Structure 1
Amino acid sequence: MNTAALSPAPLSPALSVLDLVPVRTGQTSAEAVAASMDLVRLADRLGYTRYWFAEHHNMPAVAASTPPVMAAAAAVQTERIRVGSGGVMLPNHAPLVVAEQFAALEALAPGRIDLGLGRAPGSDPVITALLRSSGPTADVERFGEHVQDIMALLRHEGATIRLTSGETYPVRATPSATGAPTVWLLGSSDFSARLAAELGLPYVFANHFSGAGIDQVLALYRDGYRPSEAFPEPRTFLTLNVVVAETQEEAEARALPQLRSMARLRTGKPMGPLETVEEAQAAPLDTLGQQMVEDMRARWLTATPGTAAAELRRLAGRHGVEEVMVVPVGASREDEGMTTTAGRTQTLSLLAEALGTPAA
């Protein structure tokens, strides 16, 4: 296939996607995955830069538990977009296993793989204990050490370990590697920002999850950055929850199910599949839940295409970035198909159309 003929017009700012693979009422996990594969194919056609999958466990509304598997599926169905993790929660995994998985992905889609690494468990304490039931793998205290281990294992020459006997032993994530994934550090505090600056790595602050302190953390990363061969300059982008529709009313309706789900999570209420728009509109929240919805709504971008494009350009300029990673959180209506994701498709399509047009 002639990929040059498929190259879309550049977007300004560049756009990327973070996908949690949401599972709605009545939808199976197979259908949810099919819907996300439909969405990544669309993002590829529209000119999005990268498409990352998150790692979350034991959540009724989230099917993204294994980013390497999802990234592999996405890689074989796309032509040009970068795919990867946003991120792999390193304390849950042995560094060698992570390196091997992403080395295999790099062999599958050379030059298109991103390995985003985070420190959070991606679930509650019970599931965290189950994930580490065979013993600690990459405990939080050794996060920086294990990030460097993964980077060494991914190199063509691999790493060398010293055995208790004093002998050295070579270890590689894959034989005869010709390239390696791009490693990103992710975080919602200053720890990963400091580490990324020290190691000369790209860094992303989880603004979509916790926007508090973004200016201070990005300044800390940029001011303390130590240039590396691969990245002589600091590199970061903005993440944001986004819903775009033809009308403001429709955008707010599509945002409501995810807002309500986040409010339940943060108030300790039982979780279930993601509601449809109609379900969310039919069941009022209590006072605390409604207040949380309103507080979160103020930090999300829920708008019509022109307004959304202008706001994304404003935010990119304010934070000094050339790329925005959107978390498309638009929900589905009851009469919309299970193997597609209408609210999210609409968001990506309208955003690409609006941002592909030069600002007035």
Structure 2
Amino acid sequence: MSTHLIPQLSVLDLVPVRTGQSSVQALAASLDLAALADRLGLTRYWFAEHHNMAGVAASSPPVMIAAAAARTTRIRVGSGGVMLPNHAPLVVAEQFAALEAIAPGRIDLGIGRAPGSDPVVSSLLRSSGPTATVEQFPQHVRDIITMMSPDGAQLRVGDGHLYRVAATPAATGSPDVWLLGSSDYSARLAAELGLPYVFANHFAGQGMAQIVGLYRDNYRPSEAFPEPRTFLTMNTVVAESDDEAHARALPQLRAMARLRTGRAMRPLETVEEALADRPDHVMEVTIESMRERWLIGDADFAAKHLRGLAEQHAVDEVMIVPVAGTREGEPLDATPGRATTLELLAGALSAT
């Protein structure tokens, strides 16, 4: 008797770092979580790209993808996403062609247009070459797709002859390329190029229906993707009780509120630290406005809500960002709250 999830469930991981935790421990916890997602039958596991943030260790998606691919057997692993302005297109193509060779048929290349960092770090990331402009982004996406293909790209060089550029010498397949965004720019480009698209609902929070509708209405079928393809993203905390879920959500809510109000970032608080510190009015209002858009509750509530959203937006997959915090005394090299979120939600969504 086979079991599947309705809707399909996937994960976006920022590799959070909490109070007293090292990068070694945070990465170990996330890789264990990827292995759990694989065992639970989830569809894909993506790593974000953020730089120089005290509470986030997801700075190099290709490295994390390779490690996760080695720990899993069936789940798709990928980037959510590679921030293309930080990288030369050929480097991205080579990295993901190599990943495709490591885990054939299991690699997703999600590409974003934002820097994922502050101006200082952005300048360091791009110190070896010129900064990519918005105008170059569409061509760079096309170049990556072509260079990763089995035939590679053909460039006409100075004397007029054609020069082949291939991301890997003998590709037998290519990663699926997704465009990510929180505005209509990437939605329009994905529709034009015939690529899958994901609206970053987990941090944008508004405009999803309109932008996804624009993508679908303007979609131009491609050979790889004859139909438009998209899914939802959602910050999610699921626990045995509603009260426990809301307590586990508080550290990440406070971290995001600090980011949105321009305050200094720091490692993610424990649940006890978050509960002990009363926020000022600005923080409190910001936290409550975000809480309304996050999925926080017990398994039955979360499953019912996700099914409703999937039906409302006509998608068969939801990608959650499991943001459950950790209680004091829980192991530093594990992430029990996030693991519980996956286990309870997968169990509630399972059907035979």
TM category (shorter chain) comes to over 0.9
1:42 pairs, out of 27, 36, 47, with: 36
Mapped to 2, the partners of 1:98 and 1:220 lie a distance apart of 28
Mapping 1:167-316, distance limit 5 Å: 167-316=161-310
User: Partner of 1:83: helix, strand, or coil?
Assistant: strand
Please list the CA deviations of residues 245-267 of structure 1 after superposition, one character each: whole Å capped at 9, or x if unmatched: 01110000000000000010111
Which residue pairs with 1:158 in the alignment? 152
TM-score, normalised with respect to structure 2: 0.99
Structure 2: give runs of 5+ residues left out of the alignment.
Answer: none
Contact kept in structure 2, 1:84 and 1:116, CA below 8 Å = yes
1:165 shift after superposition: 2.5
Which residue pairs with 2:323 in the alignment? 329
Q: How many residues get paired?
A: 352
Contact kept in structure 2, 1:94 and 1:137, CA below 8 Å = no
User: Partner of 1:273: helix, strand, or coil?
Assistant: coil
User: Partner of 1:212: helix, strand, or coil?
Assistant: coil
Mapped to 1, the partners of 2:222 and 2:28 lie a distance apart of 39
Which residue pairs with 1:110 in the alignment? 104
Contact kept in structure 2, 1:259 and 1:293, CA below 8 Å = yes
User: Partner of 1:114: helix, strand, or coil?
Assistant: strand
Contact kept in structure 1, 2:86 and 2:126, CA below 8 Å = yes
User: Partner of 1:312: helix, strand, or coil?
Assistant: helix
TM-score, normalised with respect to structure 1: 0.96
Contact kept in structure 2, 1:90 and 1:117, CA below 8 Å = yes
1:357 shift after superposition: 4.0
Output the amino acid matched with 2:180: L
Mapped to 2, the partners of 1:93 and 1:197 lie a distance apart of 23
1:8 shift after superposition: 6.6
Please list the CA deviations of residues 143-167 of structure 1 after superposition, one character each: whole Å capped at 9, or x if unmatched: 1000000000001010011112222
- 1:91 maps onto 2:68 in alignment: no
1:133 shift after superposition: 1.5
1:132 shift after superposition: 1.1
User: Partner of 1:144: helix, strand, or coil?
Assistant: helix
Aligned CA RMSD, in angstroms, stands at 1.1
Please list the CA deviations of residues 102-137 of structure 1 after superposition, one character each: whole Å capped at 9, or x if unmatched: 000000000000000000000111111111122225
Mapped to 2, the partners of 1:187 and 1:167 lie a distance apart of 38
> Structure 1 12/257 Cα, relative in aligned 2: closer, same or farther at 3 Å?
same
Please list the CA deviations of residues 186-223 of structure 1 after superposition, one character each: whole Å capped at 9, or x if unmatched: 00000000000001000000000102111110110000
Which residue pairs with 2:336 in the alignment? 342
Output the amino acid matched with 1:166: G
Please list the CA deviations of residues 288-345 of structure 1 after superposition, one character each: whole Å capped at 9, or x if unmatched: 0010000000000001000000000000000110000000000100110011101100
Structure 1: give runs of 5+ residues left out of the alignment.
Answer: 1-6
